[in-house]
Amino acid sequence: MIKNLSVRPSLIPREQRGSVESQVCYLTNRIKRLTEHLDLHGRDYSSQRGLWKIVGKRKRLLIYLFKKDKLRYKNLIGQLDFRGPR
């Protein structure tokens, strides 16, 4: 299992560490780590529940960003290489 899998932290400038984009990057990093963990330990249901909570939080943030600024949303989805909730 890879401990420190990073999702391109250079995408976000230092001034925007609490922005929606940085939160989505952080959550994506956690989702990837938990997915790798669940590949090894398929019956770890507490980690599975935590994964679903993190996925839901990321989805809500992406919907918020889509409603507020579609250009930033499209840039983030393109940079992170995953399909968004819409």
Task: For the chain, give every domain's residue range.
Answer: 20-80
Best CA proximity match to 45, nearest among 67, 12, 53: 53
Q: Which two tokens stand for residue 85?
A: 């909730």
Burial of 1 by CB count in 10 Å (0-12 exposed, 13-18 middle, 19+ buried)?
A: exposed
Q: How confident is the model at residue 17 (pLDDT cuts 50, 70, 90)?
A: confident
pLDDT tens by residue, 39-69:
999 999 999 999 999 999 999 999 999 999 9
What's the pLDDT score for residue 16?
77
Sign (positive or negative) of CA dihedral 4, 62, 79, 13:
negative
% pLDDT > 90, the chain: 72
* 70 C-beta neighbours (distance < 10 Å), count: 11
- Domain 20-80: which CATH class? mainly alpha
